[in-house]
Structure 1
Amino acid sequence: MRTAAPFARLAGMFASALLLGWSPLGAAVDASTLANLGDAHGVAPCASCHGADGAGQAAAGFPRLAGLNGAYLRKQLDDFASGARENAVMKPIATALDADERKAISDYYAKLPIPAVLAKPATENSKDDSPGALLATRGRWSQQVPGCEQCHGPGGVGVGEHFPPLAGQSDVYIRNQLKAWKQGTRHNDPLDLMKHLSAALSDNDIDEVSAWFAAQPLSARGATP
């Protein structure tokens, strides 16, 4: 693992926007906060946007990390570092980490329990006959669009390392990702599945299905499958 110095430099670059810190005695986070988090390798900078409990920030579109599959999280960090997934904030952070550190961060968040704040969805748009529900559960086969649940699991709980949970993510985050797939600015999925599916969705479709998944309940007792 690297020393704290490179991350102190990274913190200086982004302190005004992200309040990043790396060393256990760094200015951005104090020692007690890091002690509560457990592993100090990489958690403090991530917590600035994704929360100390990994719940994310719904209004800002920062996704939940707690309870996500570790291999999925590691791939996203690797893709941010390599440029396979584009994000102006995440790229410099991911490239400052080595492979072991990216794995350590991924494993840390994968083991966190789902925060209690996510047990009750922030939105109420969960009707089974809503346009978003129909897209999520049944799809639109006239356009060769299967239901989202066929890959992401019932209620969007997530399946394995390639199909992350959608439940427990904000509608802002889900909508932003679907639009990124549709516009071609995100393209790091297996077999380009999301590029094809999102291209068949209208902006209203994206709004509806994002709101439906954001309204799905989560268990606060443990991580998703």
Structure 2
Amino acid sequence: MRNVAKRSAYVLSALFAFFSFGASAADAPKDAAVAGAPLERAPDTMKARVMGCAACHGAHGEGTDNDYFPRLSGKPAGYLYNQLLAFRDGRRKYPPMNYLLAYLPDAYLKQMADYFAGERPPFPPPAPVTVDAKTLDLGKTLVTKGDAARNIPACVSCHGTSMTGMEPAIPGLLGLHADYLSAQLGAWRYGTRSTVAPDCMGQVAKLLSERDITAIAAYLASLPAPANPVPVAAGSFKMPLACGSVHN
């Protein structure tokens, strides 16, 4: 219940910030004119425009201590853009995000993605391990080696050996809460999250058991960020699966 309450508070803060910024910008000239003061406009910068995002994702997109609001900063702009499109167009379902993005044009979403991709706040320390040693070891195996017998590729084969992602659209998986990672893998597994076909993550997630998902999430959440936690250049390695969103 505590997490639900915290999540609701963050969402309400985001909605308030998103709409109050627009309202204050619109009202400022009228109020100033009444007072006889020079007209002033709110600063028209991306930092100001994404104030609504900051309430949930942090001022620089660094994420928060809430399990369900992920780090955005430093991820490839193509990935962030794809996710904004997915929320707007209904391929990802989270009502506050769907609502906030419903009428934003592609060009504006691209600007938002570029802004957060360029932010580089420090990573948080790794989360304490909350699973047993066998589960953590299973997670390490699936992340670093996969399971050939079940046609499950290693996470590193797409997200990179340092798990920092690859340009233009493969995300890093560091600095995320285990509960968030579990929720996203579960969403792909059950089809409530999808992307442009071929949906490579949907294919992989459907091969995972619930224990696999718990193990992968716990292991990834336990990893520290490398010294240079930036996505590798496009084409740095060949991915084992075709992914439609990579080519958007």
TM-score, reference length from structure 1:
0.78
The 3 A distance-change label for structure 1 pair 40 and 24 is: farther
Between the aligned partners of 1:219 and 1:110, the Cα distance in structure 2 is 17
Work out the number of aligned pairs and report it: 202
Structure 1 contact 67–223 (Cα < 8 Å) conserved: yes
Between the aligned partners of 1:146 and 1:117, the Cα distance in structure 2 is 27
Quote how far apart the aligned CAs of 1:25 are: 7.8
Between the aligned partners of 1:103 and 1:89, the Cα distance in structure 2 is 19
Structure 1 contact 19–48 (Cα < 8 Å) conserved: no
1:53-202 superposed matches below 5 A: 53-113=60-120, 115-118=121-124, 120-124=125-129, 130-188=137-195, 190-202=197-209
For 1:152-191, what per-residue CA distance to the aligned partner results, in whole angstroms no more than 9, with x for missing partners? 1113211223321111222111111100000110111551
Between the aligned partners of 1:99 and 1:21, the Cα distance in structure 2 is 18
Between the aligned partners of 2:212 and 2:66, the Cα distance in structure 1 is 20
For 1:97-142, what per-residue CA distance to the aligned partner results, in whole angstroms no more than 9, with x for missing partners? 22222111111100000x2242x21234798971100000111111
Which amino acid in 2 is paired with 1:181?
W
Quote how far apart the aligned CAs of 1:50 are: 0.4
Structure 2 contact 61–116 (Cα < 8 Å) conserved: yes
The 3 A distance-change label for structure 1 pair 155 and 223 is: closer
For 1:2-35, what per-residue CA distance to the aligned partner results, in whole angstroms no more than 9, with x for missing partners? xxxxxxxxxxxx74674333527849xxxxxx98
Structure 2 contact 13–55 (Cα < 8 Å) conserved: no
Structure 2 contact 142–154 (Cα < 8 Å) conserved: yes
Structure 2 contact 167–231 (Cα < 8 Å) conserved: no
Between the aligned partners of 1:173 and 1:147, the Cα distance in structure 2 is 19
The 3 A distance-change label for structure 1 pair 189 and 218 is: farther
Between the aligned partners of 2:200 and 2:54, the Cα distance in structure 1 is 31
- Residue 19 (1) aligns with residue 16 (2): yes
Structure 1 contact 158–224 (Cα < 8 Å) conserved: yes
Structure 1 contact 54–64 (Cα < 8 Å) conserved: yes
Identity of aligned residues (%): 32
Which amino acid in 1 is paired with 2:127?
A
The 3 A distance-change label for structure 1 pair 219 and 156 is: closer
Between the aligned partners of 2:153 and 2:123, the Cα distance in structure 1 is 31
Q: CA RMSD in A?
A: 2.9
Structure 1 unpaired stretches of 5+: 1-13, 28-33
1:215 is aligned to 222
Structure 2 unpaired stretches of 5+: 1-10, 26-41, 233-248
Structure 1 contact 182–198 (Cα < 8 Å) conserved: yes
TM-score, reference length from structure 2:
0.71
2:51 is aligned to 44
The 3 A distance-change label for structure 1 pair 91 and 25 is: closer
The 3 A distance-change label for structure 1 pair 140 and 109 is: same
Which amino acid in 2 is paired with 1:188?
T
Quote how far apart the aligned CAs of 1:207 are: 0.7
Displaced runs of 4 or more, over 4 A:
14-18, 24-27, 124-129, 219-222
Quote how far apart the aligned CAs of 1:80 are: 1.3
The 3 A distance-change label for structure 1 pair 222 and 139 is: closer
Between the aligned partners of 2:197 and 2:119, the Cα distance in structure 1 is 26
Quote how far apart the aligned CAs of 1:64 are: 0.5
